[in-house]
Structure 1
Amino acid sequence: MTRLWNEPADFADEMVDGFVRANGRWVRKVHGGVSRSTRSDEPEVAVVIGGGSGHYPAFAGLVGPGLAHGAAMGNLFASPSAHQVESVIRASEQGRGVLLSYGNYAGDVLHFTAAQDVVRAEGVDCRTVVVTDDIFSAPPSEAHRRRGIAGDLTVFKVAGAAAAAGYDIDGVERVAGLANARTRSLGVAFTGCTLPGADEPLFSVPEGKMAIGLGIHGEPGTDEVDIPSAAELGELFVTHLLAEAEIPDGVSLDGARVVPILNGLGSVKSEELFVVFSTVADLLEARGVTIVDPQVGEFCTSFDMAGASLTLLWVDEELETLWSAPSDTPAFRTGAVDGGALVAVVDSDDDAVDEVVGEASDESRAAATRAAEALGAIRDVIDENADELGRLDSIAGDGDHGIGMQRGARAAATEAQAVLERGAGARSLLVRAGDAWSDRAGGTSGALWGEILRTLGEALGDDQAVTAAEVSVGVTAASDAVRAYGKASVGDKTMVDALEPFANALDARVAAGDSLSAAWVAASGAARQAADATADMMPGLGRARLHGEKSLGTPDPGAVSFALIVETVAPLLDTPAPSTSGATEETS
């Protein structure tokens, strides 16, 4: 288990600080992650990678000449927010375009895509290649749904080498996509991983068993077998990865050239990996495969998980040249990079936050006071229930929902209080709180709660009293925004299963003439009933999709946390609003 930490909520931030101080030759700290501390004489396409922390050397350890130009770093096992990704893009881009690359996880896709949309609107040519190498996460016919695990390295390295070689954005995107199409991985685990401050691992493997097909965020495996010998594990890896359906298009097995990467996931020792690799090499060569530049070590970990993965990159002449090209990063070095062609990057103040709060009416400031009070209550109830939310999430997911909600709710409440003291109205307070929630929480839930608060704030405005009708309109708009943003529908076993019934019930009761307080109480009951009903559903989206049977009988943690939040807010609407300017019971 993890032993060294101060305050668990601060672990990721303190880790980044220490990493940058230890590796200033390669990286500098920017808002949301790290960017190179040097730059080539000639501008390059920028390769920006990223994901949750807890996977070192992915992702920050792969930033440097010949590889990535920047890494957006979320909290432990949580995707970076869109704002964090935007910041790293701006710190890293050099005028020739940006390629984003990351593992195929819902939260990462949401946040990186949102950031891409923003910088594209500003004129930056930004493209994306999502890594999908994990063969056990979806069948070959649905390869686009596969997760990204240790195969991230092959895509990042090829893209970074192409950028260093002067490829334009079209060329970098092309070879990164080709590397992804020719990369396959499979992972196993003997024990789960334990996040800082947690009493138990995110998942467990029965004594004497090995989980096959696990994810790098603590997601359980899709199968369990008796612990094999090293030779049997090597055979398992090669058998699955050389299955006919997994051989990339255009590759003939006999005479093919492949880069094998045997990756330790956290606490399996290098010596053990070398024993496994001996069998892997024998079996590959017996099938007529030529081994190119084999790699054995830690390249993408899962905190302290005891496990390993094997990745195969099937190279052609171009991919082999790019894979073998020089690179120099804190954790991955090949060949010799020409240090004389590098110049230091001068830090700028581009990350400075605009603290200006717009004008607001007395009525809107009264509503903002109530909203800040509600966010404080939400923070408190999430703190009280974080462990249980994490437990629910661990049954079929990665177990971090409680931690992510806790980070987000705390950040939103703190930001709300700060802007309230500067006279913010309802819109400004909720938008800023939503941004803070999204930035601090990361992950899918962070993105969606950020969207809820921002959309509701936009509907309420800063210049008028807040009525029940406006709140209802705002909640309906938030429900629509979440469904559009997260691509989920009722029945997918997500937060939407509680959010949409809540919005519909609130709208109906307000339209019937109920006060906001009465309508909200009724809608909260609908949300709770719908959240409880998700126990009987099979998940249709996200990481839990792979473990659907395990989630039967357990409600969705996102739906449960939503119901918990709206129930907590309900009593606050039943007291007079803190205003002397005519605000009534209808005020939020």
Structure 2
Amino acid sequence: MTRLFDDPASFAEDALAGFCDLHVDQVRRVEGGVVRAVPADEGKVAVVVGGGAGHYPAFFGLVGPGFADGAVVGGVFAPPSPRAVLSVARAVHCGAGVLFVLGNYAGDGAGFGAAQERLRLDGIDCRTTVVTDDVASAPAGLRSARRGIAGAFAVFKVAGAAAEEGLALDEVERAARLADDRTRSLGVAFEGCTLPGGREPLFEVPAGKMGLGLGIHGEPGSSELDLPSADRLAELLVDGLLAEAPADAGSRVGVLLNGLGSTGREELFVLWNDVARRLRGAGMEPVEPEAGELVTSLDMAGVSLTLSWLDAELERFWRASADTPAYGKRVRRRVPAPPAPSAVLERLVRGAEYPGTGAHSRETAAALVAVFGAERRAVEEHAAELGRVDAVVADGGHGRGMVRGTAAAHEAAALAVLAGAGVRSTLARAGSAWA
């Protein structure tokens, strides 16, 4: 629930005012939204993004070098007016034209469309790219009817980087459209969001369920499924997007694992492990992936996965540096991938030697492995109860800590026995791993 506000009707304006005051060195407020505090050089294409409030850091948190020149901000989940769009566009125009980038929603399209016509009447070349990445909102044959959700971040990034390079408006528009054409997203919700001043969420998800194919304006999912493990959710999201890959898709993909408002970062990190493994297992190579809350829906609990298939040009724009209040990116150095854990363990086993260990000691050590395994299973079975008892006087972490300790001891003992260890060395390895 959105709890902190003064007048619910002015929530968007109040939030924008606070944001601008906090980041006065990076942005300044104009009628209808925000623009860069330091204007871009004359002759640069101006990229303007926007839509309703409630999606922070989209849209106004992404204004800065390498990203947008300005952002138009409507009410909460409400489209901005043509006047607001015009105000922001005129404030950032640097003589080389304006590109609007927005999600595929009728209200947003009407406001930005009317502003575009007025700018053209004033002699300012203005174009529009509409983001259509949500695979759940329309069939593949009707891509123009699809909503724009978290994939808008990737399209904004490409357009901003292309403009920052100094490309002409035709080329910036072409790059943005290409990014949209090669970007797909799919999201799930665990709980709906509540508007400021509202008493009930815009939709409810039954306990133990999740909504598949949600929107970012409080729209419920198109279907309900049992709440899965992180691995099963990763399978659902990855498979759903790979099935929608562009016809000429390569193996390199920009990836955004996005939280929708109240999904913890650590949960996203857990899910990323499974997403990354499944992508690489399918022959995909994630390029500088992002995991965090970048296109939210107020306080919605949920996640979305975005894949953007990259060619050489799009990868350059995806990897380009950016500096905004909510998102910063430096050009990263490529480093070799670390060896797989299994390879590391194999080297440890091959390199371990226990000369002089007798057969009886080795047999007893093997029996110890079975003891450690039984101990591990018993602790795992009762971990919740151990945590509950511990929570009476401490932090409730004893159960999980014991699970980690017994698992580490069991695995270390098993490796030691494989390498020929006797009782003493096996116990020493197990004890060290437990500690």
Aligned residue for 1:202, secondary structure, equals coil
Is residue 294 from structure 1 mapped to residue 283 from structure 2 by the alignment? no
Aligned 1:115-514 pairs, distance under 5 A: 115-243=115-243, 246-252=244-250, 256-335=251-330
CA distance in structure 1 between the partners assigned to 2:157 and 2:28 by the alignment: 20
1:34 CA drift (Å): 0.5
1:42 CA drift (Å): 4.5
CA distance in structure 2 between the partners assigned to 1:230 and 1:238 by the alignment: 12
1:43 CA drift (Å): 2.8
Query: TM-score, with normalisation over the residues of structure 2?
Result: 0.75
Whether the aligned pair in 1 keeps the contact of 2:66 and 2:320 (CA below 8 Å) is yes
1:39 CA drift (Å): 2.3
Partner of 1:35: 35
Aligned 1:8-47 pairs, distance under 5 A: 8-47=8-47
CA distance in structure 2 between the partners assigned to 1:313 and 1:61 by the alignment: 21
Aligned length: 332
Aligned residue for 1:51, secondary structure, equals strand
1:52 CA drift (Å): 0.3
Aligned residue for 1:50, secondary structure, equals strand
Deviations 1:191-214 (A, max 9, x none): 100011101011111111100001
1:41 CA drift (Å): 3.6
Question: In structure 1, what residue type is equivalent to 2:249?
Answer: V
CA distance in structure 2 between the partners assigned to 1:2 and 1:42 by the alignment: 41
Deviations 1:215-245 (A, max 9, x none): 00001110100111111111110010011xx
Deviations 1:424-472 (A, max 9, x none): xxxxxxxxxxxxxxxxxxxxxxxxxxxxxxxxxxxxxxxxxxxxxxxxx
CA distance in structure 1 between the partners assigned to 2:8 and 2:216 by the alignment: 20
CA distance in structure 1 between the partners assigned to 2:43 and 2:15 by the alignment: 30
1:25 CA drift (Å): 1.8
User: Which entry has the higher C-alpha Rg, 1 or 2?
Assistant: 2
Aligned residue for 1:170, secondary structure, equals helix
Question: Structure 2 regions of 5+ residues with no counterpart?
Answer: 332-435
Partner of 1:471: none
Whether the aligned pair in 1 keeps the contact of 2:26 and 2:37 (CA below 8 Å) is yes
CA distance in structure 2 between the partners assigned to 1:131 and 1:84 by the alignment: 20
CA distance in structure 2 between the partners assigned to 1:25 and 1:159 by the alignment: 23
Aligned residue for 1:28, secondary structure, equals strand
Aligned residue for 2:288, secondary structure, equals coil
1:248 CA drift (Å): 1.0
CA distance in structure 1 between the partners assigned to 2:328 and 2:311 by the alignment: 21
Whether the aligned pair in 1 keeps the contact of 2:158 and 2:179 (CA below 8 Å) is yes
Partner of 1:446: none
CA distance in structure 2 between the partners assigned to 1:95 and 1:89 by the alignment: 11
Partner of 2:56: 56
Report the CA distance shift for 1:267/1:325 in structure 2 as closer, same or farther (over 3 A).
same
Whether the aligned pair in 1 keeps the contact of 2:47 and 2:99 (CA below 8 Å) is yes
Deviations 1:266-301 (A, max 9, x none): 001010011111011001101111110010001100
Partner of 2:85: 85
Deviations 1:51-97 (A, max 9, x none): 00000000000000110000000000001011100111001111100
Deviations 1:369-427 (A, max 9, x none): xxxxxxxxxxxxxxxxxxxxxxxxxxxxxxxxxxxxxxxxxxxxxxxxxxxxxxxxxxx
Question: In structure 2, what residue type is equivalent to 1:124?
Answer: I
Question: In structure 2, what residue type is equivalent to 1:171?
Answer: E
Question: In structure 2, what residue type is equivalent to 1:249?
Answer: A
Query: TM-score, with normalisation over the residues of structure 1?
Result: 0.56
Question: In structure 1, what residue type is equivalent to 2:297?
Answer: S
Is residue 5 from structure 1 mapped to residue 8 from structure 2 by the alignment? no
Deviations 1:146-176 (A, max 9, x none): 0000001111111010111010000000000
Give % identity: 58
1:335 CA drift (Å): 1.4
Aligned residue for 2:127, secondary structure, equals strand
CA distance in structure 1 between the partners assigned to 2:32 and 2:50 by the alignment: 10
Partner of 1:73: 73
1:40 CA drift (Å): 3.3
Partner of 1:565: none
1:326 CA drift (Å): 1.2
CA distance in structure 1 between the partners assigned to 2:225 and 2:59 by the alignment: 31
1:249 CA drift (Å): 2.8
Question: In structure 1, what residue type is equivalent to 2:308?
Answer: L
Question: In structure 2, what residue type is equivalent to 1:178?
Answer: L
CA distance in structure 2 between the partners assigned to 1:239 and 1:78 by the alignment: 33
Partner of 1:489: none
CA distance in structure 2 between the partners assigned to 1:50 and 1:274 by the alignment: 28
CA distance in structure 2 between the partners assigned to 1:79 and 1:41 by the alignment: 29
Question: In structure 2, what residue type is equivalent to 1:162?
Answer: A
CA distance in structure 2 between the partners assigned to 1:69 and 1:132 by the alignment: 22
